[in-house]
Chain A
Amino acid sequence: EPEVTQTPSHQVTQMGQEVILRCVPISNHLYFYWYRQILGQKVEFLVSFYNNEISEKSEIFDDQFSVERPDGSNFTLKIRSTKLEDSAMYFCASRVRGELFFGEGSRLTVL
Chain B
Amino acid sequence: EDQVTQSPEALRLQEGESSSLNCSYTVSGLRGLFWYRQDPGKGPEFLFTLYSAGEEKEKERLKATLTKKESFLHITAPKPEDSATYLCAVSGGYNKLIFGAGTRLAVHP
Contact = CB atoms under 8 A, between A and B. Distances in A.
Contacts, number: 52
A99 B95 contact: no
Chain B interface size range: 20 to 34
B49 A48 contact: no
Interface stretch (B18-26, B40-48, B66-74, B76-84): B40-48
A12 B42 CA distance: 18
Contacts of A41: 101
Nearest to A43: B99
Interface string A70-111: 000000000000000000010100000011111111010000
B43 A104 contact: yes
A98 B32 CA distance: 8
A56 B87 CA distance: 22
Contacts of B36: 102
B97 interface: yes
A101 B99 contact: no
Contacts of B49: 98-100
A44 interface: yes
A93 to B, nearest CB: 8
Nearest to B87: A43
Contacts of A45: 96-98
A58 B96 contact: yes
A65 interface: no
Contact of A102 (B32, B43, B100, B101): B43
Interface of B: 32, 34, 36, 41-46, 49, 51, 87, 89, 93-102
30 contacts: A4-B43, A31-B94, A33-B96, A35-B97, A42-B99, A43-B87, A43-B89, A43-B97, A45-B96, A45-B97, A45-B98, A48-B95, A48-B96, A56-B95, A56-B96, A89-B41, A91-B43, A98-B32, A98-B49, A99-B46, A100-B49, A101-B46, A102-B36, A102-B43, A102-B44, A102-B46, A104-B43, A105-B41, A105-B42, A105-B43
